[in-house]
Each structure stands twice: as structure tokens, then as C-alpha cells.
């Protein structure tokens, strides 16, 4: 199983940086030179500044049109770099990480996703994007809704992370971002680490690709962990990983098409009866009635860890809120714009032009012309004198 993580924009490159820390192959792309320099783990030769000719390396200030243009202009450089990283061994999945609310990630990610789909038709393109906070207001919300629409026509799945879940802790915003970034990387890295690994019943790359090939619908990664000694019911722990507090997206899991569950822990806790009880219950619950499963008993382990992937989701409160709010914002913005234009027209109509008030008089204009000619003459004379 080979994955390449590509971060786009500030949020995306910070997430890619964490993937790089835990030894994944990662690439960072941004319109901001400063943000690229700030990264700690992505190697220097895997950081690409795009759109320098239009932004001067200073970011696009939440304008996705500029983000899109920046990616388009430098797409050949980006694709060449990706090609050189890939070499002769195929990539199973490209994970594109980004923030839905900014400009570089929101504008650039769909352009790159489309190019990757065209150049590597056998690889999956999975977007991992952070949804804006409600309080961020009009632009991030509109950027997010339009980018969801664009990506849903290109990507195989969109793993959406709802930043509103950040508010459940007491951290300040940058600590909260760090925590959510760390958590998403931990979940996806744990899942990927268990693919193609020997176990009781294992998951392979084709299972993961099957689950994520879900025609641009939403996916979410759930998680539950407990001390092995404290697990009273493994089946409850598994079910918890599917519940709202285990997921980073408000979603109706019953609308999910596929599920995938990986369970890792000491052999005495991974009881088959418990596991099957939970998985049978959950399989009956989701729309696609299919859950891929992997059990990884590990005698050295003291914790039980459950990572869950749900895909093909089309009912999500987080997404519906954004799209609905974006439409409301867009409607009232267009109305306000139209109203302002009408008001402006009404206010200013009926005013004369300068010509109507000040009819040009031949004599006056000639005089002006003469004066300028005089000034020219004096300047020439002065220059001549200076040169003598
Ligand atoms: N989860 C998470 N969300 C983030 C982080 N940084 C920013 N965001 C969210 O992402 C959106 C902003 O995206 P950025 O990545 O900062 O923007 P960008 O793609 O660099 O684009 P420009 O700055 O406009 O050039 C906002 O909605 C933020 O809430 C982060 O580290 N983690
Ligand atoms: Mg930025």
C-alpha cells in the first residue's frame, strides 16, 4: 500500500507536515513562501511555491480564483515533482489535504485533483479537507460550499473534518487546530499502517480502495481507544467509534455505503464473539450493508484501538449547514449588490456631464495651449544654458 500526501495551502501543508513526521511521503504546495518556510518536517525539495508571478509569494488572501490560477500556472512544475517522487512504483491513493475556507487550498485542490485523475487513472484521489468554523462568516463558508461542489465531481471521496468540533475543547484556536490536525493524522496513519500487515483477518490495499472509491461522496474516520485492562465490552468500544463523539463530522452513518474497521490490541481482549456482535449490528445499520474488517492481535499492546472508516455518506449535518448557509449568504449578497446598484443609479441619474455645464471656449483653450508652449520654451532655454 503506497500513499502520497499532498498538502495545499496553510492548513493542508501543516497536516502534510505531520504526516511527514510519522514517515509518510509528503509534498507541500502553497502560494505563501513564509508558510512553506514555517514547516518543520517536509523536506525542502518537496516544498513548492506556486503562483509567485501573481502573488509575489504572499498568499492569495482567501481568494480561490487566485488559488486556482496559481495552481494552473505552475501545474507542470507540480506534476513533474510528483512524477519524480513516484518513480516506477505505483501510488494507490493520493491524499490531498487542505482547508475548505481559504484561497490556495480551496481554489488549487480541485485543479490538482483533476490533473492527478487524468495522469494516474488507476490511483485514487481522496480529499481530506477542514470545514470552516461557523463564526468565520461569509467568505470561508461560500469558498467551502463551492469547493465541495467542485471536488464532488472529481475526487473519489471527500474526508471532511468539521472544525466546529474544535470548540468542544477549551484550547485557544491555534492549539485547537494543532490538536485536530494531530488527531486526523493519527487516525489516518493508524489505518494505513494496518493495511497489508499480517493479522488474524487483514485489510489490504484493494479493500481500502474499494471503500474509498465512492464517486465523490463524503467519508469520515472514527476512532476509539481504551486501556486493555479497562475494556468491559469490546463491542461497545467498537460501536463508540461510529458514534458522533468518535467522528469529526456530524453525519448520519445510516446513509453510509461502506465501512471499514481495524481493531488492534492484546489477543485476550480481541474476542471474536464481541467483535462479530458489534460488526453485525453496524453492518445492518449502514445502507450498503458491508463492512470490511481487520483484526490485529498484538501481545505487546496494552491498549485497544479501533479505527473506523465510513464512506459514501450523503447525509451530513455539517455539510448541509455549510451549503445552506452559503446559499443564504450568496443570495443576500447578490440582493445587497443589486440594491446598491439600483440605489446608485437612482441617486446619480439626471446629473449633467461637464460639457453641459462648461462649454469649451476656443479662446480659453488656445491660451492654455500657449502657456504650455511657453513653459516648454523656457525649460529648453534653461537646459541649453546649463549645458553651455
Ligand atoms: N483543522 C485545521 N483547520 C485550519 C488550520 N488552519 C486553517 N484552518 C481552516 O482553513 C481555512 C483557511 O485555510 P488556509 O489553509 O489557512 O488558507 P490557504 O489555503 O492557505 O489560502 P490563503 O491563505 O487564502 O492563501 C479556515 O476555514 C480555517 O478554519 C489548521 O491548521 N487546522
Ligand atoms: Mg495561506
DSSP track, 168-193: GS---HHHHHHHHHHHHHHHHHHHHH
Give the Cα separation of 107 and 72 in Å (integer). 10
Ligand 1 atom at shortest distance from the alpha carbon of 140: 27
Instruction: Determine the pLDDT at residue 244.
Output: 72
- 310 has which bridge partners? 220, 259
SS3 245: helix
Q: Which atom of ligand 1 is the closest one to the Cα of 15?
A: 31
Measured in angstroms, how far is the CA atom of residue 171 from the centroid of ligand 1?
Answer: 17
Using the mean position of ligand 2's atoms as its centre, give its distance from the Cα of residue 103 in Å.
Answer: 7
Name all residues whose Cβ lies below 6 A of ligand 1: 9-12, 14, 31-32, 59-62, 99, 101-105, 130, 132-133, 136, 140, 161, 163, 177, 180-181
The atom number, within ligand 1, closest to the CA of 131 reads 27
Cell of 347: 441617486
What are the residues whose beta carbons fall under 8 Å from the beta carbon of 344, sequence distance 6 or more?
A: none
Give strand pairing partners of 97: 7, 128
- Lookup: cell for 385: 544654458
Q: Please give the pLDDT value at position 33.
A: 98
In contact, 31 and 51? CB cutoff 8 Å = yes
CA atoms within 13 A on the CB side of 233: 7
Residue 101 CA: nearest ligand 1 atom is 27
Cβ–Cβ < 8 Å for 239, 278:
yes
Partners of 29 in beta bridges: 8, 48
Per-residue exposure over 337-347, b if at least 16 CB sit within 10 Å of its own CB, e if not: eeeeeeeeeee
Among the bound ligands, the one closest to the CA of 63:
1
For residue 107, give the ligand nearest its CA: 1
31 - beta bridge partners? none
Ligand 1 pocket mutation pick from 19, 130, 134 by most atoms within 8 angstroms of CB: 130
pLDDT of residue 243: 83
Residue closest via CA to ligand 1's atom 8 equals 11
Q: Where are the beta strands (DSSP E) in 234-347?
A: 258-265, 291-297, 303-313
State the pLDDT at residue 167. 72
Strand partners of residue 203? 195
Rounded to whole angstroms, the Cα distance separating 107 from 67 reads 5
Question: What does the block give as the cell for 282?
Answer: 453496524
| All three cell numbers of 372 | 504650455
For residues 42 and 26, the answer to whether their CB atoms sit within 8 Å is: yes
Closest listed ligand to the CA of 64: 1
Ligand closest to the CA atom of residue 61: 1
Sign for the pseudo-dihedral over CA of 172, 178, 182, 188: positive
pLDDT mean values, one per 10 residues, the chain (388 residues): 97 98 97 98 98 96 98 98 95 98 98 98 97 92 98 97 80 85 93 87 93 95 92 92 82 93 93 91 93 93 94 95 95 95 96 87 65 74 77
The Cα–Cα gap between 260 and 134 comes to: 30
Amino acid at each position: 500500500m503506497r500513499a502520497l500526501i499532498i498538502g495545499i495551502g496553510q492548513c493542508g501543508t501543516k497536516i502534510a507536515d505531520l504526516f511527514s513526521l510519522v514517515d509518510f511521503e509528503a509534498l507541500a504546495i502553497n502560494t505563501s513562501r513564509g508558510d512553506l518556510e514555517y514547516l518543520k518536517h517536509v523536506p525542502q525539495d518537496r516544498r513548492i511555491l506556486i503562483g509567485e508571478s501573481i502573488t509575489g509569494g504572499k498568499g492569495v488572501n482567501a481568494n480561490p480564483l487566485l488559488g486556482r490560477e496559481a495552481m494552473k500556472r505552475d501545474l507542470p512544475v507540480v506534476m513533474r515533482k510528483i512524477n519524480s517522487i513516484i518513480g516506477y512504483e505505483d501510488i494507490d491513493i493520493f491524499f490531498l489535504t487542505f482547508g475548505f475556507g481559504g484561497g490556495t487550498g480551496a481554489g488549487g485542490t480541485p485543479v490538482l485533483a483533476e490533473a492527478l485523475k487524468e495522469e494516474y487513472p488507476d490511483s485514487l484521489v481522496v480529499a481530506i479537507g477542514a470545514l470552516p468554523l461557523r463564526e468565520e462568516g461569509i467568505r470561508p463558508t461560500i469558498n467551502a460550499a463551492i469547493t465541495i461542489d467542485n471536488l464532488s465531481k472529481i475526487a473519489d471521496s471527500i474526508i471532511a473534518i468539521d472544525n466546529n468540533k474544535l470548540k468542544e475543547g477549551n484550547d485557544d484556536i491555534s492549539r485547537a487546530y494543532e490538536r485536530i490536525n494531530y488527531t486526523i493524522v493519527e487516525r489516518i496513519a493508524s489505518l494505513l499502517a494496518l493495511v497489508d500487515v499480517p493479522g488474524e483477518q487483514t485489510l489490504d490495499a484493494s479493500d481500502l480502495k474499494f471503500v474509498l472509491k465512492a464517486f465523490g461522496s463524503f467519508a469520515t474516520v472514527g476512532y476509539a481507544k481504551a486501556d486493555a485492562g479497562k475494556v468491559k465490552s469490546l463491542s461497545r468500544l467498537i460501536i463508540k467509534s461510529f458514534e458522533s463523539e468518535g467522528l469529526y463530522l456530524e453525519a448520519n452513518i445510516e446513509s453510509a455505503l461502506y465501512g471499514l474497521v481495524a481493531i488492534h490490541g492484546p489477543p485476550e481482549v480481541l474476542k471474536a464473539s464481541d467483535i462479530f456482535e458489534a460488526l453485525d449490528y453496524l453492518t445492518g445499520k449502514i445502507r450498503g450493508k458491508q463492512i470490511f474488517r481487520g483484526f490485529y492481535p498484538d501481545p505487546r499492546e496494552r491498549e485497544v484501538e479501533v479505527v473506523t472508516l465510513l464512506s459514501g455518506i450523503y447525509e451530513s449535518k455539517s455539510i448541509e449547514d455549510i451549503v445552506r448557509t452559503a446559499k443564504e449568504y450568496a443570495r443576500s449578497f447578490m440582493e445587497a449588490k443589486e440594491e446598491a446598484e439600483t440605489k446608485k443609479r437612482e441617486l446619480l441619474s439626471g446629473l449633467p456631464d461637464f460639457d453641459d455645464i462648461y462649454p469649451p471656449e476656443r479662446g480659453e483653450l488656445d491660451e492654455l495651449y500657449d502657456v504650455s508652449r511657453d513653459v516648454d520654451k523656457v525649460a529648453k532655454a534653461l537646459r541649453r544654458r546649463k549645458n553651455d
